[in-house]
Structure 1
Amino acid sequence: METINWQGNITFLYYDDLARADEFFQKTLNLSLILDQGWAKVYRISAGAFLGAVDKTRGSVRASSPDGVLVGFVVQNFDQVVAELAQRGIEFINPPAQNPEIGIKSVMFFDQEGYKFEVQEFLLEQDIKEFY
């Protein structure tokens, strides 16, 4: 009998300025706030995928640097999403590019506290079947 049945995933990021992170997630990234515990907030990315923002002084993890985290967003309309993010003020680290070696379109950007985010669209048939 299998008892493990994961229902979703929450990736938590730790912030000095939680209010600024909240504004970024809701207004810039268009994520819906689904849980507000004051010093911790959770946003829905998609069914079963969530992003948490935590006041750095209150959380259970003492994050010393955002360098070890990359949050990836998978989309099917890469060009449109990139254009909309640019209109919302996102400055990309690199120009949007296609990587034929691994079959993705990708672009990356930082948030206000240095966490790195990636928008990617899978292009290979076997990956499309898994992700969309």
Structure 2
Amino acid sequence: MAQRPEGDVQLTITFWYYKDLARAEAFYRDVMGFTLAIDQGWAKIMHIGGGAHVGLVDETKGMHNSEPIKPVQLCIRVPDVDAWYAYVQEVGVDGLSELFVNDEIGIRAFVFNDPEGWQIEVQTATRPGA
């Protein structure tokens, strides 16, 4: 039976496709505070934290196109969701929700959209193990 190759995964990258790559890169750098980890020209791989990355791709060069419906969400867990909420209110983001609590899964969170409509959730756990 086939076995998975040994060794840890080195990076985790989720790729999203954009009509305006420069605008997306500026948002993730200047608003979200992510750093550029790998610059491939038409793909900008931004470091989120740990081994997590988001890849921003110019749709004219990548494997997919930017579509109007974005059925994927980027969720980042932070130590202080209230501080993040105050921050994004100040910088101004599209589609900002109210802060909400989901007791079933143990989070306090809010959502907003990046410049091309990809949804970002920022959350803090409200109980251990959540």
TM-score of the superposition, structure 2-length normalised? Answer: 0.88
Q: Is the 8 A contact 1:71 1:118 kept in 2?
A: yes
Shift, 1:29, TM fit: 0.9
1:41 aligns to 2:44 (yes or no): yes
Return the alpha-carbon distance in structure 2 between the equivalents of residues 93 and 81 of structure 1: 12
> Which of the numbers 77, 82, 85 marks the counterpart of 2:80?
77
> Which of the numbers 50, 55, 60 marks the counterpart of 1:52?
55
Shift, 1:92, TM fit: 4.3
Which aligned pairs between 1:106-125 and structure 2 lie closer than 5 A? 106-125=109-128
Return the alpha-carbon distance in structure 1 between the equivalents of residues 12 and 69 of structure 2: 19
Deviates more, 1:88-97 or 1:10-19: 88-97
Q: Is the 8 A contact 2:43 2:58 kept in 1?
A: yes
What's the C-alpha RMSD, in Å, of the aligned pairs? 1.7
Residue equivalent to 1:90: 93
1:24 alignment partner, SS class: helix
Residues 93, 87 of structure 1: alpha-carbon distance in 2 compared, 3 angstrom cutoff = closer
Return the alpha-carbon distance in structure 1 between the equivalents of residues 118 and 95 of structure 2: 13
**Greater share of helix:** 1
1:6 aligns to 2:6 (yes or no): no
Percent of paired sites with the same residue: 35
Residue equivalent to 1:29: 32
Deviates more, 1:64-73 or 1:18-27: 64-73
Residue ranges of structure 2 left out of the alignment (5+ in a row):
none
Number of residue pairs aligned between Structure 1 and Structure 2: 127
Shift, 1:89, TM fit: 1.3
Residue equivalent to 1:18: 21
- After superposition, the C-alpha distances for 1:68-91 in whole angstroms (9 at most, x for unaligned) are 210111111111111112111124
Residue ranges of structure 1 left out of the alignment (5+ in a row):
128-132
Structure 2 letter corresponding to 1:118:
E
TM-score of the superposition, structure 1-length normalised? Answer: 0.87
